[in-house]
Amino acid sequence: MQSLINKQVVLGVSGGIAAYKSAELIRRLRDAGAEVRVVMTNAAREFITPLTLQALSGHPVHGDLLDPAAEAAMGHIELARWADLVLIAPATADLMARLAQGRGDDLLTTLVLATDAPIAIAPAMNQAMWRDAATQHNLTQLLERGVKVFGPGDGGQACGDVGPGRMLEPTDIAARASECFERGLLTGRHVLINAGPTREAIDPVRYISNHSSGKMGFALAEAAAEAGARVTLVAGPVNLPTPARVQRINVISAQDMLDACQAALPADIFIASAAVADYRPASAAEQKMKKDTASDDGLTLTLVRNPDILATLASHNQRPAFCVGFAAETHDVLSYAADKLQRKKLDLIVANDVSQSGIGFNSDDNAVTLIDRQLARSSLPQASKQKLARQIITRIAEQL
């Protein structure tokens, strides 16, 4: 279940006897690498305490539609943006009916309406309730809307009946949740990604660099691997773990990064997310440069242009079929991005405003605008870089 690593799962718990299994489900999701936040209905609190689920998830349990402790007292919007998957287990007959009707009368149902994350339910109810025509009609509506349904199982029930309606076991639900992220959009493709900053040496201890953390590029590598691609990640000096199923090549300077990217060709897709230093010192001192204590004249460095990695690969005789650039700007973001797209003959560019606090360099979140060859724009609102990466990979796959 590697595809759950670093995923953000909102677990909804509704009011059925199977709610006791939610505790074990949290453990299984976290064992698989997911971060879990729990939303409980009022009825669910009659079957299992919020304190239990808080202890297991490591986060406070949510239950109030308007939470004074949440940003702008709108916890449902925060959770909706945070979630990579909304998983409701158990999902009672009543909850299924409210979801089918598009109700938003508590935190959980409002969250479902507000999120653009995949939604999955694990039904749990008496066998007669499951067979009832109204429940089956609601099930059909939910399936038509793209809601994934895990189960139910068949067997003995708490009321003594035997038949369909048992919630699947937590291990099975966690495995099916993992499958929500196992997509074959890029199966058979080779994706080359560069990420992070470069360092341009002044002397053995000093260098020119920037604030890039590499988080966006690493998230893209993870999302591309999830989509079935063979991924080569050329990474500047960052302290980030290598995503599963990704080949990582560590480099330092812009020239190192260019050499590694060219050596990795041919590739089907090139995503240039690295923040490559535009300039480097004309020459690097072999020994540490000492301050001249007898002079206050300062230090003069002669800088020369670094190679343009994106432009080089976009015009290469082994040019990847689809080249994606990033434009991290502080003003006139979209106009600069569009100019870069056309000037470098790219297929797509991802523009983001790094002057905004909370997104961009060193942040866990980002907000971007995609611009394609026809200069059509598509905005992706603020979300985690992992979530945005999956959306970007999906857009790329759709344009191949």
Q: Report the C-alpha gap between 123 and 395 in whole angstroms.
A: 32
CB 37 within 8 A of CB 62: yes
Q: Tell me if residue 261 is catalytic.
A: no
- Which whole number is the average pLDDT over 13-34? 95
pLDDT of residue 295: 58
CB 203 within 8 A of CB 285: yes
pLDDT tier, 355 (very low <50, low <70, confident <90, very high otherwise): confident
Looking at domain 2-179, its CATH superfamily turns out to be Flavin prenyltransferase-like (3.40.50.1950)
For residue 7, is pLDDT > 80?
yes
Q: Where do the CATH 3.40.50.1950 domains begin and end in the chain?
A: 2-179
pLDDT of residue 359: 75
For residue 391, is pLDDT > 80?
yes
pLDDT of residue 76: 65
pLDDT of residue 72: 47
pLDDT of residue 344: 95
For residue 132, is pLDDT > 80?
yes
- Which whole number is the average pLDDT over 204-223? 94
Choose the CATH number for 190-285+297-399 among 3.40.50.10300, 3.40.390.10, 3.40.50.300, 3.30.559.10: 3.40.50.10300
User: Comparing 76-90, 131-145, 216-230, 348-362, which segment has the lowest mean pLDDT?
Assistant: 348-362
Token output for 161: 């009946």
Q: Where do the CATH 3.40.50.10300 domains begin and end in the chain?
A: 190-285+297-399
Q: Report the C-alpha gap between 69 and 74 in whole angstroms.
A: 9
For residue 291, is pLDDT > 80?
no
For residue 43, is pLDDT > 80?
yes
- Which whole number is the average pLDDT over 46-72? 84
> Could you read off the pLDDT of 318-331 as tens digits, one per residue?
999 999 999 988 88
For residue 78, is pLDDT > 90?
no
For residue 373, is pLDDT > 60?
yes
pLDDT of residue 312: 97
CB 153 within 8 A of CB 173: no
pLDDT of residue 375: 95
pLDDT tier, 163 (very low <50, low <70, confident <90, very high otherwise): confident
Q: What is the pTM of this model?
A: 0.72
**DSSP-derived secondary structure for 68-81:** TTSGGG-HHHHHHH
> Could you read off the pLDDT of 164-173 as tens digits, one per residue?
899 999 999 9
CB 61 within 8 A of CB 54: yes
150-168: buried (b, 16+ CB within 10 Å) or exposed (e) per residue? bbbeeeebeeeeeebbbbb
pLDDT tier, 66 (very low <50, low <70, confident <90, very high otherwise): low
| Whole-Å CA distances, 29 to 2, 62, 83, 295, 347 | 11, 18, 14, 62, 37
Q: Report the C-alpha gap between 68 and 62 in whole angstroms.
A: 12
DSSP designation for 42: T
- Which whole number is the average pLDDT over 24-36? 95
pLDDT of residue 67: 66
- Whole-number mean pLDDT of the chain? 91
- Which whole number is the average pLDDT over 180-200? 91
C-alpha neighbours within 13 Å on the C-beta side of residue 82: 19
- Which whole number is the average pLDDT over 193-215? 95
Of 159, 180, 261, 323, which is the active-site residue?
Answer: 159
For residue 390, is pLDDT > 70?
yes
- Which whole number is the average pLDDT over 107-127? 94
pLDDT of residue 68: 62
β-strands 148-149, 153-156 pairing: unpaired
Q: Say which residue, 35 or 244, is predicted with more confidence.
A: 35
Q: Report the C-alpha gap between 397 and 184 in whole angstroms.
A: 10
